[in-house]
Structures are given as C-alpha cells and as structure tokens.
Amino acid sequence: MGKRKRDNRKSRRSKYSKSLGQQMHERMQAMTRMGENKHKAKQQAPDGKPEGIFSKTTYDNYKQVSLQLVAWLKEYHRDIKHIDDVPRHVIIDYLQKRQNEGMSPNTLSRDLGAVNKLFRTDITKKEANLAPRSYKEITRSRSEKAYNKNYNPKNYEKQIAVAKAFGLRRESFITGDYRLKEGSIYQYNNTVYAAVVEKGGKFRNVEARLDMQEQIKQHFHLREQSCLYSEQAFKEAYRIGKLGKNLFSSYTTKIDNHALRREYAQKKYQEVEDKLRDAKQDYYQQYDQRAIAEVSKYLGHNRSRVIVEHYLR
C-alpha cells in the first residue's frame, strides 16, 4: 500500500475517532470569543455577521440545542459519524420535528440560529417551513403569575429596586460577565445612572426612572462623577477592580424580571414623552418616535417595533 493511501486511511480514522458530542464540544470551544466586543466584530465582518460565540448565555443556549440534536442524530441517523457530514435536509427534519412537538416560535428561532451557527448553514424559516414569531402571541410578564408570589420581596428589596429603577436584564444581577458592582451605579449632574454591559457585549449608560432615584440613593452610597462612563473607561475600571465588590450575591429567578423591565420602559417612556410634549411630534403606531428611541437606548434594543410590542403595549 502506498504512503498516500496509508495517510488517507489514517486521516479518515482520526476524523471519525471522536463521538458527535466530542466533536460538537470542540467546535463550540473553538468558536468561543467571550470577552470580545461583538459590536466591533460586526463592524469588522464583511457581511456584518461575525463568526463565534460572544456570551456565556449564548454558549449555554447553543450547548443545550447541540446536546438535543446530537442525541436525536444518534438515535435516528446512526450512519452519520461526523458533524460535517450532517446533510442540510436532516437538520431541517430535526427543526420540523421540534415544531411538531409543539415548541414555541421563540424556541424554534433559537434552535434555528444555533444550528445555522454550529453547522455553518444558512437555513431560513421559510425553507424549514417554521412558523414565524408573532408579537401578538407574547404573554410573558403581562399578568401576575402565581410563581411571582413564592418568595419574600423583603429579602430582595434592593435587587427589585434596581430592576425597577433601570430595567436591567437578569444577567446584570448575577450571571453576566459584567454583573453589577458597587461602582456600576453612580451619579452625574445630580442624576442616577447604571453603567452596564449586556447581551452581545453591548455597553450603555442607563438613566434611572425619576420616581426611583431617591430610593436608589437611600439604598446605596453613590459616587459623583464628572461625566458619563465611556465604554473603554468602564471596562478598564471593571478589569482593575476599581468598581468594588459585586453589588448582589443572589437574585431569585422567582422575581419576574421581565415584568420589571416592562414597568421601567412604560414609566421612562411617559417621562420622555412629557419632556418632549411641546416639541414637534413624530409618531410610530401612536407612540412618539423620539421617546421610543430614548427608551430603546436605555433598554439595550435597536428596533422600535420590539419596544412597542414587547414593552409598551
């Protein structure tokens, strides 16, 4: 047998020596870019779609999707031995199977995004015949739920105050890479702000609700700063430990954090609309466009439709 044939056979055995689960784990590890700025990566990517996984939350979501898909492949497609050999139609079959099991459009969107990233495909919802997400079907946090009563609010008084005052995502409290520190909440020009980095590594300064500013001042000793944080200054202060200790050590998942984000959005929208009432108005679905833009900035969103459909209605 020639040397080239032996090398080819050796390479083939090496390719299939690892389980699908091991292969997927190694691919996800190679894609990890936590700590990098996703916004800058988007600007640098030719198509605006950077390769890689930029946050722990996304990594955990993709890991869950990959484990479920790999288990399905092992049961129904035992002939597939390498993740690069998974045909496009098999991935589509899996997505349709998930839809037939009654998975929500939001879950299917997550699964689709994950498989496209992990298997380097560009499958669309139309191609996979997946139901689109409908904002009209969203019911999360729009009514009081029983599980919200199964904790003592007095034990989480400060956490709830911060969530209501700034409308922050849960990752800022306990799970994120830039969770709140003592110096993350500060004063500038007699106004209370929170500097945060959330979802995709995006930095922002969030202005507290006017009706919550005194309560935040009572709960925390705030630093007075000469200017708003820049992204570079904040991340450097965070890196060298200048911001102090973690602000919270616990934040129960029984708190309906999304409901508090909605409350913040609605209160902040009313504040901004009142401030702009005498100016020329520009409406989007009966909401002031400029007020929506400001609330969007504070919530860390880019699209007016998301703010209107998810938070203001």
User: Are residues 97 and 151 part of one domain?
Assistant: no
pLDDT value of position 173:
93
- Which pTM value belongs to this model? 0.58
Residue 140 lies in a domain: no
Q: What is the pLDDT of residues 52-63, one digit of tens each?
A: 888 888 888 899
pLDDT at 44 over 90: no
Euclidean distance between the first and final Cα of the chain, in Å?
Answer: 72
**Do 151 and 125 sit in the same domain of this protein?**
no
- Domain co-membership, 78 together with 212: no
Residues 17, 158: one domain? no
Clarify whether residues 244 and 278 are in a common domain.
yes
Computed over every residue of the chain, the mean pLDDT equals: 84
Question: What's the rounded mean pLDDT across residues 43-68?
Answer: 85
**Residue 286 binned pLDDT confidence (cut-offs 50, 70, 90):** low
Least confident of 25-34, 92-101, 277-286: 277-286
The whole-number pLDDT of residue 195 equals 98
> Which band of pLDDT confidence, cut at 50, 70 and 90, is reported for residue 288?
confident
Determine the 3-state secondary structure of 203 from DSSP: strand
Whether residues 223 and 272 share a domain: the answer is yes
Is there a single domain that holds both residue 106 and residue 233? no
Q: What is the pLDDT of residue 174?
A: 86
- pLDDT score for 143: 47
Number of structural domains found in the chain: 2
Q: What's the confidence (pLDDT) of residue 176?
A: 85
Same domain, 158 and 225: yes
Residue that terminates a domain, selected from 89, 108, 133: 133
**Is position 303 within any domain?**
yes
Q: Which string of b and e fits 56-85 if b means at least 16 CB within 10 Å?
A: ebbbebbbebbeebbeebeeebeeebebee
Residue 244's domain comprises 146-312
* Residue 303's pLDDT band (cuts 50, 70, 90): confident
- Among 73, 105, 133, give the residue marking a domain's end: 133
Q: What is the CATH number of the domain that holds 113?
A: 1.10.150
pLDDT band at 284 (very low <50, low <70, confident <90, very high): low
pLDDT > 60? residue 11: no
Residues 205-227 pLDDT 10s:
999 999 999 999 999 999 999 99
In a domain, 263, yes or no: yes
Percentage of residues of the chain with pLDDT beyond 70: 86
Residue 138 lies in a domain: no
In a domain, 141, yes or no: no
Model confidence at 27, in pLDDT bands (50, 70, 90)? very high
Which of residues 133, 164, 193 is at a domain's end? Answer: 133
Residues counted in the chain: 313
111 and 150 share a domain? Answer: no
pLDDT for 283 equals 57
- Indicate if 178 and 280 belong to the same structural domain: yes
Q: What's the pLDDT score for residue 265?
A: 92
- One domain for residues 175 and 77: no
Amino acid at the residue 266: Q
Q: Give the sign of the dihedral formed by CA 240, CA 242, CA 247, CA 253.
A: negative
Query: In this predicted model, which residue has the larger pLDDT, 126 or 186?
Result: 186
Of the two residues 201 and 232, the one the predictor is more confident about is 232
Same domain, yes or no, for 80 and 194? no
The yes-or-no verdict on residue 291 having pLDDT over 70 is: yes
251 in a domain, yes or no?
A: yes
Two tokens at 75? 């049961």
Q: What integer pLDDT is reported at residue 3 of this predicted model?
A: 53
* Cα 219 from Cα 213, distance rounded (Å): 10
Predicted confidence (pLDDT) per residue in 105-120, tens digit: 878 888 999 999 999 9
Residue 145 confidence (pLDDT): 47
The verdict on residue 139 lying in a domain is no
Strand spans (E) along the chain: 185-188, 191-198, 202-207, 223-225, 283-284, 287-288
Which of 205, 155, 196 is closest to 176 using CA atoms?
196
Give the separation between CA 223 and CA 216, rounded to whole angstroms.
12
Mean pLDDT throughout 70-75? 90
